[in-house]
Amino acid sequence: QEQLVESGGGLVQAGGSLRLSCGASGRTFDAFAMGWFRQAPGKERAFVAAISGSGATTYYADFVKGRFTISRDNAKNTVYLQMNSLKPEDTAVYYCASYNSYYRSVSARPAYWGQGTQVTVSS
């Protein structure tokens, strides 16, 4: 069983930046890919970004490419999501997730989820 705890959400103006963090515990952190998802009101949860166990491979949804950066510090068991040039449509609850594989699997859902952190972007 893995526990994931997000932090770093908040209210920011359009064009601003936020950095989300997710601390993990309960299993070998660098053996598994990590990801970020988001869910806006009335919408389904959507993939945002993911990173392989070593951090060498990253994956992004088209709508965040060039604006968001995922990274991880395996010594701290933490994954980050740096969000720049935020837009009102980025407003959502952001969830950290852990896969049961070293690389992100498009077909398999993550095995573990955090509780989510609210990001609100004002226009």
Exposure letters 58-71 (e unless 16+ CB within 10 A, then b): ebbeeebeeebbbe
Task: Write down the pLDDT at residue 13.
Answer: 98
pLDDT by residue (tens digit) across 97-108? 999 999 998 888
Task: Write down the pLDDT at residue 38.
Answer: 98
pLDDT by residue (tens digit) across 33-81? 999 999 999 999 999 999 999 999 999 999 998 999 999 999 999 999 9
What's the rounded Cα separation, in Å, for the pair 11 and 37? 18
Task: Write down the pLDDT at residue 107.
Answer: 85
CB neighbours (10 Å) of residue 111?
A: 14
Task: Write down the pLDDT at residue 108.
Answer: 86
